[in-house]
């Protein structure tokens, strides 16, 4: 297992290299500029860049989940155009990186940029997802108090627990609050317990 600081630095370098190769920021700017039908909310939601996922990737490295050949199956909730799945889908430790979002427009954009696995679905229930298949579920800026009704947050955490294989990992990446504390009762009810945390400043 890698040390925390080493994982952060490795994650930072990997994401920066991908962003440069991919031209991620330019793609988003061009998409926003060229789509006259895009609403303000859609334009804000599109602002997802490889660096956004620095804490999540550092955690995956820290927990040694991306070992080459590990065949990990990752589900990203609220993935928008799925840039982190596009990064993960070519990782030698990943067999599936599935981007789930309500927005068909965002997923189509991601697919036009090379995203290989996408599903339009509601993360609250994940009715379309079978149980016990995911090694990792990632929720970034999705499990936010006030964003959904409290009952939906609890339903989503239950659905995450259902979709994860036994021993699977839910990564909650949030900004400016402590999800483990804020969602402690819901996490316990869903049968989930904290195993690791990464705290860092990163682009959001
Ligand atoms: C990550 S969330 C951003 C939430 C942000 N914290 C806010 O307050 O607006 C944005 C992404 O999640 C997606 N999303 C929102 N609700 C969703 C749901 N119930 N199921 C799946 N995706 C959802 C949106 O389409 C968008 O791509």
CATH number of the structural domain spanning residue 82:
3.40.50.150
Q: 126 is written with which tokens?
A: 């994940």
Q: Which pLDDT tens digits describe the chain residue by residue (204 residues)?
A: 456 778 999 999 999 999 999 999 999 999 999 988 888 999 999 999 999 999 999 999 999 999 999 999 999 999 999 999 999 999 999 999 999 999 999 999 999 999 999 999 999 999 989 999 999 999 999 999 888 999 999 999 999 999 999 999 999 999 888 999 999 999 999 999 999 988 877 555
In short, whether 175's Cβ falls inside 6 Å of ligand 1 is: no
Q: How far is CA 23 from CA 28, 41, 54, 79, 98, in A?
A: 9, 23, 17, 18, 21
Residue at 201 is within a domain: no
* Domain ranges, residue 69: 4-189
**Residue nearest atom 12 of ligand 1, based on CA coordinates:** 78
pTM of the model: 0.94
H runs (alpha helix) in the chain? 4-22, 24-34, 40-45, 54-62, 83-88, 104-112, 150-163, 179-182, 184-189
In short, whether 115's Cβ falls inside 6 Å of ligand 1 is: no
Closest ligand 1 atom, residue 146 Cα: 8
Residue at 197 is within a domain: no
Q: What are the residues whose beta carbons fall under 8 Å from the beta carbon of 160, sequence distance 6 or more?
A: 77, 126, 137, 139, 170, 190, 192
Q: 189 is written with which tokens?
A: 């009810």
Residue at 11 is within a domain: yes
Q: 132 is written with which tokens?
A: 């016990």
Residue at 132 is within a domain: yes
Residue at 74 is within a domain: yes
Whose CA is closest to 38, among 108, 87, 86?
108
In short, whether 78's Cβ falls inside 6 Å of ligand 1 is: yes
d(C-alpha 127, C-alpha 131), whole Å? 10
Number of domains in the chain: 1
Gap from CA of 73 to ligand 1 centroid (Å): 21
């Amino acid at each position: 297992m890698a040390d925390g600081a080493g994982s952060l630095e490795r994650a930072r370098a990997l994401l920066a290299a991908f962003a440069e190769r991919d031209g991620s920021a330019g793609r988003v700017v061009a998409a926003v500029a060229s789509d006259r039908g895009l609403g303000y909310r859609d334009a804000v939601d599109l602002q997802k860049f490889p660096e956004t996922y620095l804490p999540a990737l550092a955690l995956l490295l820290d927990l040694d989940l991306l070992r080459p050949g590990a065949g990990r199956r990752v589900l990203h909730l609220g993935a928008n155009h799925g840039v982190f799945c596009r990064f993960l889908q070519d990782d030698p430790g990943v067999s599936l990186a599935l981007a789930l979002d309500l927005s068909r427009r965002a997923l189509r954009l991601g697919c036009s940029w090379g995203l290989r696995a996408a599903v339009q679905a509601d993360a609250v229930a994940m009715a379309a997802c079978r149980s016990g298949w995911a090694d990792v579920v990632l929720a970034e800026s999705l499990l936010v108090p006030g964003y959904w009704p409290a009952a939906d947050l609890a339903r989503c955490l239950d659905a995450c627990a259902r979709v994860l294989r036994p021993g699977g990992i839910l990564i909650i990446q949030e900004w400016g609050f402590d999800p483990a504390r804020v969602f402690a009762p819901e996490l316990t009810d869903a049968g989930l317990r904290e195993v690791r945390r990464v705290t860092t400043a990163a682009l959001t």
